[in-house]
């Protein structure tokens, strides 16, 4: 039986480009399967980039232990309680490190879970940094405010810390600002006052007010208050901990909260707060990366690959990944 086309033990092969590589006995099929497994191939490339990002942060400090954890979610998937065990597993795969870098790309979600994520991350590191390749909105912004440093590039953005609540539109889950429901009630109340003042018939307005879910709006108000409380706690404890005296620290924190909560400034939840605004206007501890900085170039490569992985994976909603483990959460199909 002929051996043409089959690489035998001790036989040279050019399967990996121009280099001659010896293929150990029994690995030909495994290698071919890996080459045709695009998910595994892309996973290997992302792992390599995560290791390179860790090396960038370790540069000049050979004994420093740095770990990268990535968290990506789509528009249809906010931060929620299901992320807690996933974060726990990912952090356990890294173990204790001197510096933990959380690469986050998310539209936001549950503020209570954002608080939990900060605590989980800080339990595994001495220094916690949040890296924003594209966007970290709402609860994701709250997570960033719990860091010692935020790393941003020319297209990175934070957002208002208005809490997000899940609703279903045409069978598709969406997250809407809690402030929107509060504003709707306030608008109707103002209209009612004007109708009464003008001695007009108030019945139409009263019907609209009666249709409002009062307990739900009360819940929205508590969510908004909670987001600010969490942000205040972590800003004072970490990013602004060195700001003295206490009054100066309070003023610095208040400025951030006012800037990230002002409805008059940020008309919509998606309004962009770029790195320059975060650094110069809000005075957050932001490291701005030039678009040709080696760290940014590797970060952008990782971001694009992770984003494509989510967009091309059927029903995939979230990606949580370290160099040691990967979890893709998806939509349950009936």
- The mean pLDDT value for 92-112 works out to 93
pLDDT tens per residue across span 29-53: 766 666 666 677 888 999 999 999 9
Higher per-residue confidence, 214 vs 145: 145
Interval 11-35: pLDDT, tens: 333 334 444 455 555 567 766 666 6
Report the chain's mean pLDDT, rounded to a whole number.
83
Which of 85, 89, 46, 53 is closest to 68 using CA atoms? 53
Using CA atoms, how far apart are residues 321 and 311, in angstroms rounded to an integer?
16
Q: Would you say residue 206 has pLDDT above 70?
A: yes
pLDDT in tens, 140-165: 999 999 999 999 999 999 988 877 67
pLDDT of residue 84: 94
pTM for this one?
A: 0.76
Residue, of 143 and 221, whose pLDDT is higher: 143
Arithmetic mean of pLDDT, 163-185: 73
Whether residue 89 is predicted with pLDDT greater than 60 in this model: the reply is yes
Domains annotated for the chain, with CATH where assigned, are 38-56+63-167+213-330 (3.90.226.10)
Question: Is 175 or 91 the better-scoring residue by pLDDT?
Answer: 91
At residue 107, the pLDDT reads: 87
Query: Tens digit of pLDDT for each residue in 239-272?
Result: 999 998 999 999 999 999 888 875 544 444 445 7
pLDDT of residue 301: 95
pLDDT tens-digit series, residues 284-312:
999 999 999 999 999 999 999 999 888 87
């Amino acid at each position: 039986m002929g051996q043409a086309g089959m690489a035998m033990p001790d036989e040279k092969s050019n399967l990996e480009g121009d280099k001659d590589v010896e293929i150990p006995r029994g690995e030909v099929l495994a290698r071919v399967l890996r080459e045709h497994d695009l998910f595994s191939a892309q996973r290997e490339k992302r792992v390599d980039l995560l290791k390179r990002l860790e090396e960038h942060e370790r540069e000049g400090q050979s004994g420093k232990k740095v770990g990268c954890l990535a968290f990506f979610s789509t528009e249809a998937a906010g931060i929620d309680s299901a992320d807690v065990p996933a974060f726990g597993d990912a952090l356990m795969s890294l173990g204790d490190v001197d510096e933990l870098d959380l690469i986050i790309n998310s539209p936001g979600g549950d503020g209570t879970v954002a608080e939990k994520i900060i605590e989980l991350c800080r339990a595994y590191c001495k220094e916690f940094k949040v890296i924003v390749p594209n966007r970290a909105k709402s609860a994701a912004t709250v997570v960033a405010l719990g860091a010692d440093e935020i790393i941003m590039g020319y297209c990175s953005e934070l957002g208002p810390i208005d809490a997000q609540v899940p609703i279903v539109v045409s069978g598709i889950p969406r997250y809407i600002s809690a402030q929107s429901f509060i504003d709707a009630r306030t608008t109707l109340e103002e209209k009612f006052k004007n109708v009464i003042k003008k001695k007009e018939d108030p019945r139409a307005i009263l019907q609209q007010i009666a249709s409002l879910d009062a307990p739900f709006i009360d819940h929205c108000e508590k969510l908004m208050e909670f987001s600010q409380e969490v942000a205040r706690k972590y800003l004072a404890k970490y990013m602004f901990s060195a700001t003295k005296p206490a009054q100066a620290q309070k003023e610095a924190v208040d400025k951030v909260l006012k800037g990230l909560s002002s409805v008059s400034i940020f008309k919509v939840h998606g309004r962009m707060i770029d790195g320059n605004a975060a650094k110069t206007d809000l005075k957050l501890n932001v490291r701005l990366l030039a678009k040709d900085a080696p760290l940014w170039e590797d970060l952008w490569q990782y971001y694009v690959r992770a984003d494509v992985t989510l967009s091309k994976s059927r029903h995939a909603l979230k990606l949580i990944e370290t160099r040691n483990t990967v979890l893709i959460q998806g939509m349950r199909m009936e």
